[in-house]
Structure 1
């Protein structure tokens, strides 16, 4: 197979994935998460409880990274990117800061708060039966106040493999513009499924089931992940978007559940209609 044929094949695959991503509408959920979070005040509590220490951590990490790593990285990127190095270095340092901040905050500060936000959003969408598979659910109207004890330790959000993968992808930023775009896409490809780790746990999926589920929705998860990653790259405000992305992921899960419930009902109605004829 020639280089031209390989390039054409890759281009066709990219077109298919892009088309599937657009059709899925998954890229809209990070934005829906922002809107839903703002209009549902009860979901603010987990963020409010962790806001001050997390903001301090975010500011500290970002300031440290710019003070220590910006100049040497800009010097290297200038060789490859020329005048664009100013912009690409900023994006690179923000990405590095975001990754370090995410690892530290989601493992040591806000992991439980994000789980409460995800579960609380599901409860606000009347998915009590789904949430109750893995935690106690109390009576009441406030979705966050209804959350009881978690029955099983949630999946780990970050692993050493994820950090290693990040640094493997990082040299892509040496390629002007295109490299940075590819870097964000590759990060988003992994971020998407991670955002639904709690959903997979609530559904009690095995690893094989999770892998199959994600593989069937590869384009959708990538499109969700890319926008979510871009939002969390925003300095300091990334903590806010970590929570709204979680809300968006829960809304997507709720819509998936609605479709799974509706489809069998439609099939049953169709079968009853045929029998009536």
Structure 2
């Protein structure tokens, strides 16, 4: 029993150390600010609105329709179940769970059927506006003349991954965490953020021409930053009816972060060092 207790203590210390390191990385990276920067940058650059406005009818219809249906069908039953586990905060917990479910369904439908190219254009357009032309030119043709979005030519590849069965399975496995009052919902959001953060830079990784190993090394060494970015982005995308708007602003935020990674004199050597280690 003493050996078991010592092993439990060692594991607890190891996990606490990992959480502490990841939190420190998140704070130092300030990656959690980029989704907010994305909102402000998107609102102040009207030419970036074009991919969204081209899909606006489908975006609004999908978001409003799915969210309304989920609250009509799922909210009350989930609140009734949570009344036994969450007590007085059942209404709030059930609302957050329903918003999360709605956001996931909306993202799955929109990315699969009509939004993939628009998000790639938004990401690439933001990089062009931040003078990362050489980076973008590796993934698509760049036209001369016109505004930023008019310069985006034919895509060489489409990197934004659609929802995979594994992602859906993991989401369903984590879903019961929401039945734990407050703490469970917080853990659920953090886990979703941990998944969503690296996904936001899939286009960046492709433009960098990194292989799978290089991507994994970079993500692991910047786990705190990616998790904090993903948490902020995920929370924004839980806001009802405008969640797909935040999908676009989060894409802008991810591109702003990628541009800063490219231009930051201290970070760029670190990226090259990581890439060499992973080769």
TM-score by length of 1: 0.92
Alignment correspondent of 1:21? 26
Equivalent positions of 1:96-107 (< 5 A) are 96-107=101-112
* Structure 2 counterpart of 1:225, from 208, 226, 230: 230
Equivalent positions of 1:253-272 (< 5 A) are 253-259=258-264
Q: Secondary structure at the match of 1:152?
A: coil
Q: What runs of 5+ residues in structure 2 fail to find an aligned partner?
A: 1-5, 270-279
Alignment correspondent of 2:116? 111
Alignment correspondent of 1:169? 174
Alignment correspondent of 1:272? none
Equivalent positions of 1:173-188 (< 5 A) are 173-188=178-193
Deviation of 1:154 after TM superposition, in Å, equals: 2.3
Alignment correspondent of 1:273? none
Alignment correspondent of 1:89? 94
Conserved in 2, the CA contact under 8 Å of 1:103 and 1:158?
yes
Q: Secondary structure at the match of 1:176?
A: coil
1:65 aligns with 2:70: yes
Alignment correspondent of 2:273? none
Deviation of 1:149 after TM superposition, in Å, equals: 0.5
Conserved in 1, the CA contact under 8 Å of 2:116 and 2:160?
no
Alignment correspondent of 2:131? 126
Which stretches of structure 1, 4 residues or longer, exceed 6 Å deviation after superposition? none
Equivalent positions of 1:135-214 (< 5 A) are 135-214=140-219
* Alpha-carbon distance in structure 2 between the residues aligned to 1:55 and 1:166: 24
TM-score by length of 2: 0.91
Q: What runs of 5+ residues in structure 1 fail to find an aligned partner?
A: 265-277
Conserved in 2, the CA contact under 8 Å of 1:157 and 1:194?
no
Q: 1:191-243: CA deviations, max 9, x gaps?
A: 00000011111111111111111111001000000000000000111111111
Q: 1:262 to 1:7 in 2, by over 3 A?
A: closer
Deviation of 1:5 after TM superposition, in Å, equals: 4.1
Deviation of 1:2 after TM superposition, in Å, equals: 4.4
Deviation of 1:81 after TM superposition, in Å, equals: 0.6
* Structure 1 counterpart of 2:240, from 235, 249, 252: 235
Q: 1:54-110: CA deviations, max 9, x gaps?
A: 101111101111111112111111111111110000000000000000000111121
Deviates more, 1:3-12 or 1:244-253: 3-12
Alignment size in residue pairs:
264
* Alpha-carbon distance in structure 2 between the residues aligned to 1:5 and 1:196: 34
* Alpha-carbon distance in structure 2 between the residues aligned to 1:66 and 1:79: 20
Q: Secondary structure at the match of 1:145?
A: helix
Deviation of 1:42 after TM superposition, in Å, equals: 1.0
Deviation of 1:141 after TM superposition, in Å, equals: 4.5
Deviation of 1:261 after TM superposition, in Å, equals: 8.7
* Alpha-carbon distance in structure 2 between the residues aligned to 1:47 and 1:110: 9
Equivalent positions of 1:41-52 (< 5 A) are 41-52=46-57
* RMSD, matched Cα: 1.5
